[in-house]
Structure 1
Amino acid sequence: MKYFAVFSPMLDEEKSRLYRPDHLEFLKEQSEKNRVFAKGRFADGAGGLVIYQAKTYADVEQIVKRDPYVVNGARGFEIHEWEMIQG
């Protein structure tokens, strides 16, 4: 399994507030499927970050494109493969 960091820059604060419950439910579902390693929003309001676990970039892209934030234009997204270093 690989890790992919997904930066979700803020596009529309009002839509972000409106679709937050749907986004959080979506992340909960992804977490229950062991697809989410870590998640959180930036304190300065710039957006958020989710680190997904998946086999390929394409797998993560398919997931992210179903996120209610992305579907409804509240947030954009950038996907970067992340190589975690331990120790």
Structure 2
Amino acid sequence: MNYIVAMMKTIDKEKDAKILKDHIEYLNKQIEKGKILAKGPFLDHSGGLIIFGVKSMEEAQQIADHDPAAIHQTREFILKEWKCSTTLAKG
């Protein structure tokens, strides 16, 4: 199955720390809506990854564009189409 993924690169760590709560709340709301299947930070604190549950790149881009991290320019979002060769586990 094909997915859209976003790799987020932190570009302003200080500013990002200030909006982190809003960023996480926004992503959690998208999870509740079924728009995001998985998310999480990289362990080296350089950014994170999102796996979208949407039908188009445009929809994923719109969600990314409305993320507080994008609005406040604390992270750079790189969106790519990704073919998953296994079944994603839930939970």
- Give the TM-score category using the shorter length: over 0.9
The residue number in structure 1 matching 2:18 is: 18
Deviation at 1:49, TM superposition (A): 0.5
1:38 matches 2:33: no
Give the count of matched residue pairs.
Answer: 87
RMSD: 1.4
AA partner of residue 48 (structure 2) = G
1:73 matches 2:78: no
Q: Percent identity?
A: 34
- Any conservation in 2 of the 1:2–1:54 contact (CA below 8 Å)? no
Q: In structure 1, list runs of 5 or more residues that go unmatched.
A: none
The residue number in structure 1 matching 2:64 is: 64
Structure 2 Cα separation of the partners of residues 29 and 45 of structure 1? 23
- Any conservation in 2 of the 1:7–1:47 contact (CA below 8 Å)? yes
Deviations 1:34-80 (A, max 9, x none): 11111110111110101111111011001100000010011011000
Shift of the 55–2 alpha-carbon distance from structure 1 to 2, 3 Å rule, reads farther
Deviations 1:10-55 (A, max 9, x none): 1100111000000011011100001111111011111010111111
AA partner of residue 17 (structure 2) = R
Give me the TM-score of the superposition, normalised by structure 1: 0.94
Greater than 4 Å deviation, 4+ residue runs:
none
Q: In structure 2, list runs of 5 or more residues that go unmatched.
A: none
